[in-house]
Amino acid sequence: MARGDGEEGGHCKRGRGAGDCKDNDDGENGPDKRCRVAAGSTCDDGEAGDDGTGDYNISGDETDGDGDGNDEDLIYYYSDDDEEAEVGASTIRCDDKRYVVLSEDDVHDRQAKDTAEVAEVLSVPPGFAAVLLRHYKWGKMRLKEEWFSDDRRIRDAVGLPADGIPVPMARSRRELVCGICFGRFSPGEMRSAGCSHYYCDECWRGYIHAAVDEGPRCLSLRCPNPACAAAVVRELVDAVADGADKDRYARFALGSYVDESGGRIKWCPGPGCTHAVEFVGCAGDDATDVLCRCRHGFCWSCGEEAHRPVSCATVRAWLSKNNSDSASAIWVLVNTKHCPKCRRPIEKNQGCNNMTCRAPCGHRFCWICLEPLGVGHTTCHAYRPRLDNVVVAGGNGVPAEEQRRQQAKASLDRYLYHYERWAANHRSLQQVLKDMAALDRSELGKMADTVRASATDLRFLTRAYEQIAGCRRVLRWAYAYGYFLDPVRDAAKRRLFDHLQSDANRSLERLHGCAERERKQLCAVAKCASSADIAGRYRSYKKKLENLTEVTQRYFENLVKAFETDLAEVKPAK
């Protein structure tokens, strides 16, 4: 998805003249308007001329596909809301941005700020404040309200002492006996968790090490005495644990700010990503896509990869379909026939039609007519109605087994059609993400040197790739939506779906081709061109890619809205 830091491109005005708009009353496309954008159309930035969306000629001239220099009129569909669209916002925008991406440092700073605030307000040490906040899932307001209502009850519930000393040392003048190793130690070598049970530093170190090995549960560690519920706080861990255990404990403590936030903050599930996402709006009950800084998109509601415009329920059904054995069972039904004697499914993998079933059956029969092979098998290719195993209810004289096979084949073909396109867009998305990573690493810098532009000026290229990635996600999951349209009941929706998908693919491929193929052409020509020539070509390419990005963004936003409303403009079948 494109981020909101881009420049504002040109919005085409509606009106008479070179670019006119009219209502589209052809039924299936709903209440959208149809705008014919021609060469010389007026744009918001006050410039007249090409809209930048024609085919780009690497010579620096913009021509139509025939190369005659005359721009062919381009038709784009948009709704009245398009004029409110913000250029450079999220690729598939929500009504407002409802989440914030946090780095590990951001999470650490927020955690430290919340802990310090609670420690100051409640007049407790930071270690105590952290224990209290974890108990209340880092909800500061509820903690404060209940603390000032009955602080003694809260202390007892979380195991905090009343005197407010996080790591009390023994004050006796004589040696004390460690409750674990039973060794004698001076009072300065004995510590407790705020209770009356003192242990030597070495035993504390081993006790904490064993707890840290068990994972985040170490954050709820209590006094080694089984009868004592005193909490082991961060100050005690820092005082006695070795370096590795202190680091691991700190990682668990940092993670608790996200993991125990009650779902308000979540870690990005992207491979190797350490960012977290805080949701600051109303999540709702259905799909809410989130795009992390690592460019991994995921759904806030279900945790799967970003899947607008389809619902979480549709995603679950589709993934279940992909992971189930039903597809294999359908393939067996379509591509095999049953032995007429033992009913075992048989796949024909050679050219001969004379089949022999495996032992112990051994039945020999004809693949075409399923009749036994023998001297009398001479009428295989002559039409002869079969009266056995016929579907009487249908009245069409088709054998029941053959009808089931035909239905299964149609079902498999429909599934494979949608699955292949779903998978193809996923592969394209992965390639786009690799290309974006390459741009970040070195390609943008190389292009900046080649076309003699600044890296900042090349942000339009990054936005275009982010737009492409977002559109690939939409197209991918739109095919899952299409699969669950009933071929008969939703026939009208299916026709509109196919039309919208086809237009969306064309729009996206045009943008993708400009961002990828024409960029490489520009860089190749720029290596041996003059400075003035390079500048002209670069400006032309930049204008075209920015306009294509904007047009594609608007189209896909309307596409998402159409699918999310279940193509509401199509009247339900009677």
List active site positions: 352
- Structure tokens that stand for 305 in this block: 């990869």
Q: Which residues contact 384 (CB under 8 A, 6 or more apart)?
A: none
Given a contact cutoff of 8 angstroms between Cβ atoms, the answer to whether 299 and 290 are in contact is yes
Q: Measure the CA–CA gap between 472 and 291, rounded to whole angstroms.
A: 14
- Structure tokens that stand for 203 in this block: 């035993």
Instruction: State CA 263 to chain mean position distance.
Output: 18
* Structure letter (DSSP) for residue 169: B
Helix (H, G, I), strand (E, B) or coil at 151: helix
Given a contact cutoff of 8 angstroms between Cβ atoms, the answer to whether 479 and 425 are in contact is yes
Do the strands 265-267 and 276-279 form a parallel or antiparallel pair, or are they unpaired? Answer: antiparallel
| Burial tier of 364 (Cβ tally within 10 Å: 0-12, 13-18, 19+) | middle
* Structure letter (DSSP) for residue 3: -
Do the strands 20-23 and 176-177 form a parallel or antiparallel pair, or are they unpaired? Answer: unpaired
Q: Which residue from 84, 521, 466, 437 is spatially nearest to 529, judged by alpha carbons?
A: 521
Give the residue carrying structure tokens 């905090």.
160
- Provide the 10 A C-beta neighbour count for residue 284: 10
- Provide the 10 A C-beta neighbour count for residue 287: 22
Cα–Cα separations (whole angstroms), residue 92 to 121, 472, 514, 542, 556 = 43, 11, 20, 22, 7
Backbone angles phi, psi at 166, to 5 degrees: -70, -35
Give the residue carrying structure tokens 């494109």.
2
Cα–Cα separations (whole angstroms), residue 151 to 235, 513, 514 = 21, 65, 65
Backbone angles phi, psi at 526, to 5 degrees: -65, -20
Q: Which residue from 564, 569, 570, 560 is spatially nearest to 85, judged by alpha carbons?
A: 560
- 3-state secondary structure string across 204-268: HHHHHHHHHHCCHHHHHCECCCCCCCCECCHHHHHHHCCHHHHHHHHHHHHHHHHHCCCCCEEEC
Helices (H), 307-399: 312-323, 326-335
Given a contact cutoff of 8 angstroms between Cβ atoms, the answer to whether 53 and 548 are in contact is yes
Given a contact cutoff of 8 angstroms between Cβ atoms, the answer to whether 63 and 73 are in contact is no
